[in-house]
Structure 1
Amino acid sequence: MKRVAVFASGNGSNFESIVHASKLEENYEIVLLFSDQPEAYALQRAHNLGIHSVSLSPSHYPDKTAYEADVLALLIRNRVDSIVLAGYMRLIGPTILKHFEKQIINIHPSLLPDFPGLNAIEQSLEAGVTETGVTIHYVDEGIDTGPVILQEKVSIDPQDTHGTLKEKIQQVEHRLYPQVLKQLYRKDEVVAETSIN
């Protein structure tokens, strides 16, 4: 069974949907919730769900290399095989990327390569486009530049606000992320060799 860590920086609603779905799966389990924000509500969700959680603040470290060395040690201690980013607002650096090559997955609230980085929902509204969406992709050294696993479109209505569009996108995320993980973590499959069309 693949041992999965979820990284989150904020509310953790995607994390919770992933945990609930994982309880029905035989091929993977969520063994750790990691956050870079000690006040993140995702940590409370982990407590409520009975998932081991740890928070390490980057501000307590001299540089990113030292910070990621401790995060990596945490992952190794917990025998983590794969990482799922769910609202983790920090770029993964080479220390973790090298150890978990092609084993880190992210979800992003746009149809990449459109609107990468922060504030993707605001970017799509400001651009005046009629659709955006959700992208699940592998993580590389860039900002939302890794190979795409799956995308789903979300329409933008003229009356949509940031709040209504965010709600529509999150509904898709909460359904799509567990679906993709179920397929990626089928028994004995290597994530790096898996493609969902």
Structure 2
Amino acid sequence: MSHRLVVLISGSGTNLQAIIDACQAGQLDAETVLVLSNRPDVGGLDRAHQAGIDTVTLDHRQFDSREAFDQAMIDAIDPYRPDTVVLAGFMRILSPLFVRHYAGRLLNIHPSLLPRHRGLHTHQRALEDGDTEHGCSIHFVTEELDGGPLIAQAPIAVTANDTAQTLSNRVQQCEHQLYPLVLQWRAQQRLSLTDEGVLLDGKPLPKQGYQHL
């Protein structure tokens, strides 16, 4: 039975497209069964429609609280029986209610080498701090914002000519390679979150995660 993915988006869905492409190319033994967006009329929904994937739009502005919105997401997601819930540019802070419900099944990709530059505007902050290295990170989601156990990172060198936009472009290319790879580990039942930390093939990963060079 194919590994079932639910992907959460808020925008253009380039990481969603990378996942769709990897599945179609046979590089990812999984099926995206639902794409959920908290914003209507975003490009990621068009990508899902073109691939024949079910979509749900839940406008967070229509809910009285974060918990009410997250419960509505749970109610929409659970009928699809996801093995992994994938945050792919989902621009909402999740409540403990949601995080606990999908504990061990909830992954996020972040455009920095965590624990550096949690939150927003990571590329500009990397430049302002004079970082010589930047990149992206994939981690299991916990109640700590961008603070869950690391699974994998893809570092890139920061050059003297880099701008926030050039960094963004190069980091995004890394994201499109790294997310399908990590999700394939999940599909192959090689990757899990345990009391011992993140395990790959039954062995603990280093604290900084797998380094994809």
Q: Give the conservation status (yes or no) of the 8 Å contact 2:84–2:105.
A: yes
- Aligned mates of 2:179, 2:84 — CA distance in 1: 14
In the superposition, the TM-score normalised over structure 1's length comes to 0.93
Tell me the equivalent position of 1:21: 22
Q: How does 1:47-196 map to 2 (within 5 A)?
A: 47-187=49-189, 191-193=192-194, 194-195=199-200
Q: Give the conservation status (yes or no) of the 8 Å contact 2:15–2:176.
A: yes
Aligned-residue sequence identity (percent) comes to: 36
Pairwise CA distance, 1:85? 0.7
Find the residue that maps to 1:178 and give its secondary structure. Answer: helix
- Aligned mates of 1:52, 1:25 — CA distance in 2: 22
Unaligned runs of 5+ in 1: none
In the superposition, the TM-score normalised over structure 2's length comes to 0.86
Q: After TM superposition, what 4+ stretches of structure 1 lie above 6 angstroms from structure 2?
A: none
CA RMSD of aligned residues (A): 1.6
Q: Give the conservation status (yes or no) of the 8 Å contact 2:19–2:180.
A: yes
Tell me the equivalent position of 2:47: 45
- Aligned mates of 1:11, 1:51 — CA distance in 2: 15
Q: Give the conservation status (yes or no) of the 8 Å contact 2:28–2:184.
A: no
How far does the alpha carbon of each residue in 1:57-83 deviate from its partner, in whole angstroms, 9 at most, with x for none? 111111111111111011112222220
Q: Give the conservation status (yes or no) of the 8 Å contact 1:7–1:83.
A: yes
Stretch of structure 1 that moved more, 76-85 or 115-124? 76-85
- Shift of the 128–26 alpha-carbon distance from structure 1 to 2, 3 Å rule, reads closer
Amino acid across the alignment from 1:22: C
Pairwise CA distance, 1:190? 6.2
The number of equivalent residue pairs is: 196
Amino acid across the alignment from 2:9: A
Unaligned runs of 5+ in 2: none
Instruction: Identify the structure with the greater strand proportion.
Output: 2
